[in-house]
Amino acid sequence: MKKYIVLISLLSAQLALSQAPVTGKIKSNVEVMDVRSGKRQVILTAGFLLESPNWSRDGKYFIINSKGLLEKISLKGESLGVVDTEFANRCNNAHGISYDGKSIFFSYNDVRAGINNNSRIFKVPIEGGTPLLLTEKAPSFWHSVSRSGKNILYSAQRNGEWDIYKLPTAGGDEIRLTSTTGLDEGPEYGHDSKFIYFNSNRTGRMQIFRMKPDGTDQERLTDDEFDNWFAHPSPDGKWLVYMSYLEDQKGKHPIGKEVKLRLLNLKTKQVKDLTETFVGGQGTLNVPCWSPDGKKIIFVTYKVE
């Protein structure tokens, strides 16, 4: 494994962006797992916070949040440089790539929108450039783009309520898709955009749900003792990988907690563990994480010293 090169010195700022409820030094391990065999490989270790890796659409590199910037990482864990996002140097851990591979969507803590709760969603060319603002309102956290590229999904707080919204990438008014009491989070389109998968604590404990693209026919997919977050459907539409806290987090998703990754068969609704328990949480599996061929996932585990 190649030694990681620190690009800029902003650790304290990045910890603040993640609202990490831990004290001490954080060590990050970026891991790739073969879903079928369960074999895991640590491709990158850093003595600071790394979060939310995406697989590129061509499968040749990853994009990861590193100290408020979006950085490209090779399959061997080597730095390929920072994506130029100009003024946006406080990116949080919500980002992803369009299906055509030409654009990156990301959320940025924009002080122009206020001191707190100021995350807004932007779009930038894959090679970098001037970010285009998509959401005027804050806070808004990007989570998914449709296969057509015409719509994005995000979680947002409006009038004190956290719900899931859809917005045309060409511009227009945001469309509210959920309206139940409680926190609705982590929306992601399925492989064919016929369903949206998300997590919600509307029933008291955070569980995985799905609904149609217009917000109708909301259906619960998990019902267990875990606190389930960030469901990511496989490219072939057969599986759903998500992160489970062992204990109820009361609507939060902090770092430094005991979690494990689980796999749901979308045909049988059967669930199995993908990993044993490890230290994770915020930043482990926030964003789309499957390889383009659907054979592997990428995620982050942590150690607090």
- Who contacts 182 (Cβ-Cβ below 8 Å, separation ≥6)? 162, 200, 201, 202, 251
- pLDDT, residue 11, reads 37
Q: What is the pLDDT of residues 285-304, one digit of tens each?
A: 999 999 999 999 999 999 99
Predicted pLDDT of residue 21:
52
- Per-residue confidence (pLDDT) for residue 23, from 0 to 100: 62
> What pLDDT was estimated at residue 24?
73
Distance of CA 177 to the CA centre of its chain: 19
Taking the CB of residue 140, how many other CB atoms lie within 10 A of it? 26
Do the beta carbons of residue 94 and residue 103 sit within 8 Å? no
Nearest to 224 by CA among 206, 243, 251, 250: 206
Q: What is the DSSP letter of 95?
A: E
* Structure confidence by residue, pLDDT tens digits, 213-228: 999 999 999 999 999 9
- pLDDT score of 39: 98
Half-sphere exposure of 240 (CA within 13 A, CB side): 30
Phi, psi of 276 (to 5 degrees): -80, 175
Question: What pairs with residue 156 in β-bridges?
Answer: 140, 163
pLDDT lower than 50: segments of the chain: 1-20
pLDDT at 3: 37
| Tokens 């790539």, located at residue | 97
Nearest to 51 by CA among 80, 30, 23: 30
